[in-house]
């Protein structure tokens, strides 16, 4: 056999992820027969020609690596290595991409379906290569980083959910470790977790519940920054009554806060449930009108979740309303009058006015009994010209009985109109009572 005078260069070993490994190549063992083939190519005599044929076969063995998986390559979305080169992503569409070569960064841009209300957006990274620990970062449309997350281990998928008021976002996908490369599948979608009343995040966008009683509202606070606004009109118009607010079925992650505003936007009250998952009840005394209710997560303990809102009139006032002024005094007719069941629901503004006619100059007696334990009665008696006499019961819950003989400026007469006004004496004095008037 004839040998070369010049030694052939040795083959270089290549690690599976080394850049020298081109598609179709594999690492060669030290004793591969290909070296013998190269020597055979140069044989000059027939004796060594057969050896040369064998050498050709050895070369073919060096490239016929059909059982090896295809190596990674840059994906079809490149170049998208910067925010200005971001690939547009349609929601709920799979994007099959790669982090390749090492150090590659993939930028994407997407628009949410919710454009003027809060919702949750899920970013899914699936089918992650076993050698890739994938990491994402989210930016707003101005490029300000909002949040980020990584899978935590190589080969793990990633699910990231973020709260969004809607708009355009940029997404950066990369390997957590600089030398890792691999494939992944990206999918972005709205979760559509908000309620049927959205968008109602401002007073101007309030959901109109109409006239009470309103149907139960099954709402959702998707973000601790979200506000749910509702508009309603009470059944009582110029009649004092209780309006009751109930927030129930509150999610474990939500401490509910309720605020009420009048038609001019002035704050009436703000209350909170006191703990996450707790129900809330509040009662308002009002002469009626149009109001705006706002439900939010309580600011000091932010959270999200579902709730149910119910608003209703309690119809606590009596059948003689509206009779809060002398001009609207309820006409009881001529004496005697008995068993008038009245109700003072609020001290300020709720006044019960009645009028009756005396049939003679005989004195009459007003008896107020069965007084509620939270009510101290203030009684005013007036005649048509405006002469008056005022008297109070001794204590809360005490009866009051007075004769016209004890009234300095009031005297009965045939067919004479007398007015009486019943109210609570002090703040927060309210309750039921019964009265009668006899000659």
Model pLDDT for residues 418-429, shown as the tens digit of each residue: 999 999 998 789
Mean pLDDT of 26-37: 37
pLDDT averaged over every residue in the chain: 86
**DSSP secondary structure code for residue 51 in this structure:** H
Q: Write the pLDDT tens digit of every residue in 111-124.
A: 999 988 999 999 99
Q: Strand 145-150 and strand 134-140: pairing?
A: antiparallel
Least confident range from 47-51, 201-205, 402-406: namely 47-51
Q: Write the pLDDT tens digit of every residue in 194-250.
A: 999 999 999 999 999 999 999 999 999 999 999 999 999 999 888 889 999 999 999
The pLDDT confidence band at residue 12, using thresholds 50, 70 and 90, is very low
CA–CA gap between residue 38 and residue 33 (Å, rounded) = 9
Return the higher-pLDDT residue of 39 and 236: 236
Q: Write the pLDDT tens digit of every residue in 270-306.
A: 999 999 999 999 999 998 999 999 999 999 889 999 9
* Residue-wise DSSP of 250-310: --TT--EEEEEEETT--EEEEEE-SSTT--EEEEEEES--EEEEEEEE-TTS---EEEEEE
pLDDT at 70: 54
The beta strand positions in 113-240, using DSSP E, are 119-126, 134-140, 145-150, 158-164, 168-175, 182-190, 207-211, 217-221, 227-233
Mean pLDDT of 352-360: 96
* Residue-wise DSSP of 339-381: EEEEEE--TTT--EEEEEEESSSS--EEEEES--TT--EEEEE
The residue among 131, 133, 178 whose CA lies nearest residue 152 is: 133
Q: What is the arrangement of strands in the sheet containing 337-344, beginning at the earlier edge strand?
A: 337-344, 431-438, 365-369, 400-403
| C-alpha dihedral sign at 14, 15, 19, 22 | positive
- The values of phi and psi at residue 55, to 5°, are -60, -40
Percent of the chain surpassing pLDDT 70 = 84
The answer to whether the predicted template modeling score (pTM) of the entire model surpasses 0.95 is: no
Q: Which residues contact 226 (CB under 8 A, 6 or more apart)?
A: 117, 118, 201, 296, 297, 304
- The values of phi and psi at residue 415, to 5°, are 60, 45
Return the higher-pLDDT residue of 23 and 295: 295
The C-alpha angle 54, 55, 59, rounded to 5 degrees, equals 120
Q: Report residue 97 CA to chain centroid gap.
A: 34
Q: Which residues contact 383 (CB under 8 A, 6 or more apart)?
A: 409, 410, 416, 417, 418, 419
pLDDT at 71: 76
CA–CA gap between residue 98 and residue 93 (Å, rounded) = 16
119-140 burial, b at 16+ Cβ within 10 Å, e below that, comes to bbbebbbeebbebbbbbbbbbe
pLDDT at 34: 39
Whether the per-residue pLDDT at 411 is higher than 50: the answer is yes
CA–CA gap between residue 439 and residue 432 (Å, rounded) = 24
Both tokens of 347, joined, read 């001290």
Mean pLDDT of 40-60: 41
- What's the length of the chain? 439
């Amino acid at each position: 056999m004839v040998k070369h005078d010049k030694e052939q260069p040795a083959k270089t070993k290549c690690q599976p992820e080394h850049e020298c490994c081109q598609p179709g190549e594999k690492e060669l063992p030290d004793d591969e027969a290909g070296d013998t083939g190269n020597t055979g190519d140069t044989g000059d005599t027939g004796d060594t020609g057969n050896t040369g044929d064998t050498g050709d076969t050895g070369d073919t063995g060096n490239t016929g690596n059909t059982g090896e998986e295809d190596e990674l390559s840059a994906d079809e979305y490149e170049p998208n290595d910067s925010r200005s080169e971001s690939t547009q992503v349609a929601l709920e569409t799979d994007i099959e991409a790669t982090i390749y070569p090492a150090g590659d960064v993939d930028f994407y841009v997407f628009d949410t379906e919710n454009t003027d209300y809060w919702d949750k957006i899920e970013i899914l990274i699936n089918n992650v290569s076993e050698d890739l620990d994938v990491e994402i970062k989210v930016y707003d449309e101005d490029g300000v980083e909002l949040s980020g997350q990584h899978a935590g281990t190589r080969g793990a998928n990633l699910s990231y959910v973020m709260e969004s008021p809607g708009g355009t976002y940029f997404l950066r996908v990369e390997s957590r470790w600089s030398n890792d490369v691999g494939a992944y599948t990206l999918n972005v979608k709205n979760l559509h977790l908000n309620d049927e009343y959205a968008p109602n995040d401002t007073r101007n966008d309030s959901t109109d519940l109409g006239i009470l009683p309103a149907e139960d509202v099954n709402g959702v606070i998707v973000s601790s920054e979200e506000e749910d606004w509702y508009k309603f009109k009470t059944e009582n118009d110029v009649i004092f009554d209780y309006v009751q607010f109930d927030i129930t079925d509150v999610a474990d992650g939500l401490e509910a806060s309720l605020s009420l505003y009048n038609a001019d936007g002035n704050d009436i009250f703000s209350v909170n449930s006191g703990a996450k998952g707790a129900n809330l009840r509040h009662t308002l005394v009002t002469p009626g009108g149009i109001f705006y209710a706002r439900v939010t997560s309580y600011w000091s303990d932010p959270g999200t979740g579902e709730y149910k809102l119910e608003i209703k009139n309690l119809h606590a006032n009596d059948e003689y309303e509206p009779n809060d002024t002398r001009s609207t005094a309820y006409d009881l007719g001529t004496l005697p009058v008995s068993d008038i069941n009245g109700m003072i629901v609020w001290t300020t503004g709720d006044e019960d006015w009645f009028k009756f006619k005396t049939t003679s100059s005989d004195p009459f007696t007003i008896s107020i009994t069965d007084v509620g334990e939270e009510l101290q009665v203030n009684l005013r008696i007036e005649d048509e010209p405006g002469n008056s006499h005022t008297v109070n019961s001794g204590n809360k819950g005490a009866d009051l009985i007075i004769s016209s003989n004890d009234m300095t400026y009031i005297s009965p007469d045939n067919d004479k109109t007398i007015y009486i006004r019943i109210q609570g004496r002090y703040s927060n004095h309210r309750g039921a009572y019964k009265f009668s008037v006899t000659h």
